[in-house]
Structure 1
């Protein structure tokens, strides 16, 4: 008679009997509650049988085996009911099948033994059944916890700990039995009191879940972690058998060899579990062989939206690239967006690096093969596949900067309706990675969403600017009112002047000056009103206009220098274009010290006239040029400027069909290049001059 065993299992029987009574009185007819009542009652009976075994000193192994099988099976079915749809079908069927198998073995094996057919040692049969039950129960507990919401976990944690304690101890007990080929008496008798300690935790969980209507959901991660637990359990079992074999053949050094063997096994296991490549290979294997879909779209979409709407990064482009890259595990990428003219795509954002560090081209023409292919086919380009089979992509000419870098893997179009507004280039995700049809569909969806998101952000910016322009227009209305009064006064002086010519030379000069001022003010008023006559485009000599602008700016240092050259004719409003050139030169003077230099040159290149204004001033950051230089109402001059000059320069040049490019580096000066279409007839002159020279 084992007094401690009697007390241990007796306390356990009494504890679970009380729990059963409490659950019956509080039961509301739900399936989970019914399973829990049965499991608690069976556990009470199981503990009573083992208490009797401790008292009698001997109970047939078949009776103990049946008690263990019923108790473990009842808890397995309870866990399946609690997990609900969170348990993969094959795992739930495995739990039910194991219960049937263990009960069938209790019938079949005694019959075989009765006919003299000994299949397995009864003690080992008991231990192996216990190992199977405990391992499967722990897997079910793990999946319940991992796939429950945060709210459900608060009420489930005591249930997980309580039931987990029962089967974790069983796993330890029966592992020892397998190693020692015998049941440890101390471990066996201590089991009852440990079960009694777990009962209050299960009772608290039942109190917090009176109807056991649990908030769980299906996740493919469950299979990954369940597989991990299963593999680890199998690994430990194999290592246990290996350790036993080492001890048996090791003689005097057997125990030492077993310890060294187990230590090495643990080190190997730790290395495998913490291996990132192994985890990636496992995820890919599970996705290919156990799931129809490669991604858990609910999780991926929620993460994508959460990243895209985060406020961690002010640049919406960087956030968009990060949101797309993290889905595929890509280490980074960058984004090209169509500019306002629609003629080219400019580098807009990169993550996690900066655009300036990537060595990307300044622009990609919209007429090149790459954007044309993306716009017409709307395909995802896999650069690895393109290198192997370019004919699959119509043998398009791929840019060298894209193909020369092996790590650039994916090119995905960004479409708004059917219009290409940009494209994303992602770096090669970690291996193993294969771009499947599912990846392509997902990238297309993400690209459209990002395009809409950026378009919305751009629309918000334009709305803000339009409101600022509205305030600016109100200001110009007051300016026109004042200017009209000044013009009226000046014209009155001019009209009365013939009657007051007492000092002819002075009066003539004054009248000429006043008449000129009146004429300039009239033109200013016409421009402010948006008069079409003020914007009439006629042939104008760009060099002559530059000369006038240089002359007006020569009163301050550094004095600008105009390079020699032939006339270059363009179509423009001469007065307005001259003001634009003057603004560019004055900005160069503002940025350059008196000892510096400002150079102006005029020429042509192909069918375009070129005006270059170069200085040796302080220069500008690439980020400032890209994001602030041409943004209206963003001035670096404080109260002295309105921040609209550079914006007006670029808008007027674009109105004439040209464009503006700026190259600058801090401390290295700035190069301001204006390109304009040559006037008709100027092409032949330019070609003739080029031949004669």
Structure 2
């Protein structure tokens, strides 16, 4: 870098700002002062650039024209701020006057330094002038920031571009003055960097002047973040260059080694810090908080949200996992749980990147509360005792005890609670605010619509399967009608031809064929339709288990154990349920592996467990397929046994619970209300 670069760059700056002054539109009657001030500022900037190119940045002419440039742009800033927010308050006018005084005094110190000859006095005046120019730049930046806030959404895109150009100019001035103050000198590098920035400022000013308020220009959040990253990278490179030069002057013969070590070490440190997820999250929060009006980039967030809901991204994710992922990505939560609403409350449905929840994840009262209020529950506030008393009493302890509990989002569709999603806190933990509540509330309704649609599709498919079953049953009835008609005809003919040997042979063949066809029909009808449970009576569970075990021991080894307990149940329905479960356990077990019936009690319930050591079932099948009609893990199964069993148990006021692991077997538990002492005695 040589002084020739200073000449070329500042000559280009002068030429560009002369072009700005010449091409400005003619002042109209609406804002003639603003146009004249803009012209004067462009001319002053051109004179300043010519002074630096022709004389040098240290000359008094360059410093005086620089002060004139700053005063002219300060006047432009004042007019732009007044246009955006009305008449200036006296305090604001005082701030403008104080900033202008700094620039005027800086020019005065430059003139005084040129008139004195004492070196100590010249040094003191230069240092004072540099400090005054730094103060003036800081004041101008503060006023510019207030002007940006004042224009708001109604300021127009051109005014924002002009204010951004002024911010770039005064920020560069402040950095250059600060570096010159630190190194106690003014190398050509600073002058060249300042001129290069002014080359960028000139087109921005020209664009703002030509467009006026006719067009609003707004950079996207991505562009703004990348621009901020580019500015930080530039500052890092500039600071590294300055520090490297300073270290070179101190290290002497070892300068190259010291400089290389510093550059490598600083680059490695920056890359390490930049790769830290927590630091990236913290930087994003800080930038978003201070640069943008809203925390979320709603356009990009909603596009990503709908894309995640609508497709599996080629990973084969189910809808239940996708809805958790989509909602979690909105708040950058690393994990989430889906709870679905059922008659008994909230039950765990799907987990994404976290531990599974208890099977009974929430009470029916909590589900009703979420459905009534549609509130997003702040779990840390509940744990800290800041939540409403009703809400704190309903939230289960496991939610507040887990470290990944941050927000519980209700999923409402047409005022009906479909379920809820529990989100983990983002990498940089923060308190939920109104923006989170609004966004999660709207997104929760969108998620609920997807789940409700999936539920409707499932119900429609189930109805179609029932319709298909009914059609098959109609065909069977048709075959039965034909068999009955055939046998009735044989019976009528037997009255007339019973003595004919040939007829007797035909009759035997017909009866044999009818018997075979009826046996086949009975095999097709081996699964009965679910029926309702009858009247409930006290039933001795151990006695029933022992009787069923004795009746089936010729088929497969069974054993009953436990202690006698009286349950309130419908005996016929309970025997039907146990028959289904024992048959399934026998079919799942290898020959010689016993099936165990265990009877016991727990609290107000009496239970009987049917335990096998067979192949077991997957968690997905237990959750999504076991209790659905016509869904079976057996190739020839109807899939109605478990479905009917659960319906009968629930009709008796009980519960049917399943625990199964692939390769380890299954445990089906029938839990029924305990019969009271008087009922058992009766």
TM-score (norm 2): 0.64
Q: How far off is 1:618 after superposition?
A: 1.0
Three-state SS of the structure 2 residue aligned to 1:408 is coil
Q: How far off is 1:620 after superposition?
A: 1.4
Residue 465 of structure 2 corresponds to residue 465 of structure 1: no
Q: How far off is 1:458 after superposition?
A: 1.4
Q: How far off is 1:347 after superposition?
A: 0.7
Change (3 A) 1:688 1:399: farther
Whether contact under 8 Å (1:76, 1:133) holds in the other structure is: no
- Which residue does the alignment assign to 1:628? 625
- Which residue does the alignment assign to 2:592? 595
Q: C-alpha distance in 1, partners of 2:615/2:133?
A: 81
Q: C-alpha distance in 2, partners of 1:464/1:96?
A: 73
- Which residue does the alignment assign to 1:485? 482
Q: How far off is 1:77 after superposition?
A: 9.6
Most deviating of 94-103 and 387-396: 94-103
Whether contact under 8 Å (1:304, 1:327) holds in the other structure is: yes
Residue deviations 1:445-485, cap 9 Å, x none? 55444434322321232223323433333333222222222
Most deviating of 171-180 and 588-597: 171-180
Q: C-alpha distance in 2, partners of 1:35/1:24?
A: 13
Change (3 A) 1:205 1:343: same
Whether contact under 8 Å (2:527, 2:641) holds in the other structure is: no
- Which residue does the alignment assign to 1:63? 64
- Which residue does the alignment assign to 2:49? 47
Change (3 A) 1:319 1:52: same
- Which residue does the alignment assign to 2:125? 121
Change (3 A) 1:501 1:393: farther
Residue 366 of structure 2 corresponds to residue 334 of structure 1: no
* CA RMSD, 1 decimal: 6.9
- Which residue does the alignment assign to 1:148? none
Whether contact under 8 Å (2:44, 2:69) holds in the other structure is: no
Most deviating of 475-484 and 223-232: 223-232
Whether contact under 8 Å (1:560, 1:585) holds in the other structure is: no
Change (3 A) 1:630 1:159: farther
Whether contact under 8 Å (2:67, 2:106) holds in the other structure is: no
Gaps of at least 5 residues in structure 1 are 145-157
Q: How far off is 1:266 after superposition?
A: 9.4
Three-state SS of the structure 2 residue aligned to 1:396 is helix
Gaps of at least 5 residues in structure 2 are 149-160
TM-score (norm 1): 0.63
Change (3 A) 1:475 1:13: same
Three-state SS of the structure 2 residue aligned to 1:484 is helix
- Mapping of residues 672-683 of structure 1, within 5 Å: 672-674=668-670
Three-state SS of the structure 2 residue aligned to 1:629 is coil
- Which residue does the alignment assign to 2:154? none
Aligned residues: 632
Change (3 A) 1:641 1:581: same
Q: How far off is 1:625 after superposition?
A: 0.9
Q: C-alpha distance in 1, partners of 2:5/2:535?
A: 111
Q: How far off is 1:525 after superposition?
A: 9.2
- Mapping of residues 436-455 of structure 1, within 5 Å: 443-455=440-452
Three-state SS of the structure 1 residue aligned to 2:462 is helix
- Mapping of residues 234-633 of structure 1, within 5 Å: 304-305=305-306, 307-312=308-313, 314-339=317-342, 342-353=343-354, 357-358=355-356, 360-364=357-361, 366=363, 370-371=366-367, 374=370, 381-389=377-385, 392-394=388-390, 396=393, 399-402=396-399, 404-405=401-402, 408-416=405-413, 419-429=416-426, 433-435=430-432, 443-490=440-487, 537=534, 559=556, 561=558, 563=560, 570-571=569-570, 582-599=579-596, 612-633=609-630
Q: C-alpha distance in 2, partners of 1:620/1:562?
A: 23
Whether contact under 8 Å (1:33, 1:212) holds in the other structure is: no
- Which residue does the alignment assign to 1:670? 666
- Which residue does the alignment assign to 1:155? none
- Which residue does the alignment assign to 2:158? none
Q: C-alpha distance in 2, partners of 1:365/1:490?
A: 60
Change (3 A) 1:331 1:518: closer
Q: C-alpha distance in 2, partners of 1:8/1:332?
A: 54
Q: C-alpha distance in 1, partners of 2:525/2:259?
A: 97
Most deviating of 270-279 and 666-675: 270-279
Q: How far off is 1:281 after superposition?
A: 6.9
Residue deviations 1:158-184, cap 9 Å, x none? 999999998898677545532444433
Whether contact under 8 Å (1:281, 1:432) holds in the other structure is: no
Three-state SS of the structure 1 residue aligned to 2:593 is coil
Q: How far off is 1:629 after superposition?
A: 2.1
Most deviating of 131-140 and 329-338: 131-140
